[in-house]
Structure 1
Amino acid sequence: MIKPIELVIFDCDGVLVDSEVIAARVQMRLGAELGWPLTLPEVVEHFIGRSGAANHAVVAERLGTATADRWRERFVKLHAEAVDAELEPVAGIREALAGIAALALPTCVASSGGHDKMRHTLGRTGLYDHFAGRIFSATEVERGKPAPDLFLHAARSMGADPAACVVVEDSLPGVQAARAAGMRALGYAGGLTPAERLAGPDTVVFDDMRKLPGLIDGHQG
């Protein structure tokens, strides 16, 4: 029997704020500068949806720790500058959040990004106050996505049964983490990750955030 939904867990980058395009552009710039030319599909494969620590490890394996340290330092600076200049909320997310509020369902954020980064991006887009006090980061757990640790931590902190949680994600590591946590996943394919990479068991793929409340309501047991 499908359990009624107790909690909707949102990823941040690419789901609430349209930052993945910015991050990918910065990653490609740094790759060109530091010795690892990257295509957009390669950035999606190696970097999108993963924690800063995981990204650092990928670069260190390829180019060495010193270069990975430089890459991370430059990424933080360039990403923050681009966010200040051009970041917008994901199209339709305000309508989606209003629709979910009308369903009287609790929500939270669980992201691979750190708290400072989320405070910056959610603050720039006017979404921080909507989730304040209910924001969880991969820095709080031992393993980042695709491991289930972060989503299980969020559910436990919010007092929700993992089997009664729905996760809204836009990356392959994210939907894999939701599945590993025993949660239902809604894969948003309106960003960089192709729909076919998000599809799989217990995952509904969609490309318009305005459809999200109806999809969540349809998951009610």
Structure 2
Amino acid sequence: MNSATELVIFDCDGVLVDSERLAVRVDSALITELGWPLTPRDIAQRFVGHSRQYMREQIEHHLGRPLPDNWQGPFEQAYWDLIDKELTAVDGVREVIEHLAVPYCVASNGSHYKMTRSLGRAGLLALFTGRMFSADDVARPKPAPDLHLHAAARMGVPPQHCVVIEDSPFGLEGARTAGMRTFGYTGGVNTAEQLEGPGTRLFQDMRELPGLLGDAILPGITRR
């Protein structure tokens, strides 16, 4: 690595919690019912990593009409039922977090409520108390760099000393624009081809991450 790592910034959905596989199923049913037939794969390619507002704007553009204020209402309960029933932490990520030798945080386009509930369901919430940052906190969500820069500023670390772990092209774009080093996790719903980009290192298994982070990891964890 070219410079010392002083902060690791994790995305939430798809990186800390394995929620994207569940969300694309629900969103596929929702958007198809609204009149735009999209498969879970289509959803992953178009919307994973973006905010719900971005999704709404794209649906309205495609349909040529505004959506009602409660457009997600009929599916909101279905989503949370699925989260409460099936959500787990991404395999291997807890061990990585517990062995970090530097500060870490989470920066997500999701709301604080969504992060809190999802991390709580996956048993990770206690690890991120006081270090959760949402797109609700900034003017522009990912792929703008605002959220990553906000998280770094709040944690007191210059961007060039931050490492960002993302699973979407939009999150990686935001981190690169912020001047941070990027690692793309390909073990979720997005392919390696979607996550490729200048200076971004791809990996498929969280157990590979300690070997990539180097001195940011404490002794005692297996490094591939």
Shorter-normalised TM-score: what interval?
over 0.9
Gaps of 5+ in 1: none
Q: Distance in 2 between matches of 1:57 and 1:25?
A: 20
Whole-angstrom distance in 2 between the partners of 1:186 and 1:131: 20
Q: How does 1:163-182 map to 2 (within 5 A)?
A: 163-182=160-179
2:211 & 2:76 partners in 1: Cα distance?
Answer: 36
SS at match of 1:108: strand
SS in 2 for 1:192: coil
Divergent runs of 4+, >4 A: none
Which residue is equivalent to 2:97?
A: 97
> How far off is 1:210 after superposition?
1.1
- Name structure 2 gaps, 5 residues minimum: 218-224
- Structure 2 CA distance, aligned partners of 1:198 and 1:115? 25
The alignment covers a number of residue pairs equal to 216
Shift of 1:25: 0.1
Structure with more helix by fraction: 1
| CA–CA distance in structure 1, aligned partners of residues 75 and 140 of structure 2 | 22
Aligned to 1:143: 140
- Which of these residues, 203, 206, 217, is aligned with residue 203 of structure 2? 206
Paired residues of 1:56 and 1:72 also in contact (CA < 8 A): no
CA-to-aligned-CA distance 1:163-221 (integer Å, 9 cap, x gap): 1100000001011111110001110000000011111111000000011122111789x
Give the TM-score normalised by structure 2. Answer: 0.91
Map of 1:42-121 to 2, 5 A cutoff?
42-63=42-63, 64-67=65-68, 69-100=69-100, 104-121=101-118
- Taking only the aligned residue pairs, the percentage that are identical comes to 50
Could you report, residue by residue, the CA deviation over 1:88-124 in whole angstroms, capped at 9, with x for unpaired residues?
Answer: 1111111221232xxx110000001000001100000
Q: In 2, distance between residues paired with 1:219 and 1:6?
A: 8
Q: Identify which of 165, 180, 183 aligns with 2:180.
A: 183
TM-score normalized with structure 1 length: 0.92
Of the structure 1 ranges 41-50 and 11-20, higher mean CA displacement relative to structure 2 is found in 41-50
Q: Distance in 1 between matches of 2:115 and 2:216?
A: 28
Q: CA deviation at 1:51?
A: 1.1
- SS of the equivalent of 1:146 reads coil
Give the Å deviation of 1:34.
Answer: 1.5
How far apart are the structure 1 equivalents of 2:192 and 2:117? 28
1: CA distance, partners of 2:214 / 2:74:
42
Note the C-alpha offset of 1:75: 4.0
Rounded to whole Å, the distance in 1 between the matches of 2:108 and 2:74 is 21
Pick from 101, 119, 124: which aligns with 1:122?
119
Which region of structure 1 is more displaced relative to structure 2, 136-145 or 209-218? 209-218
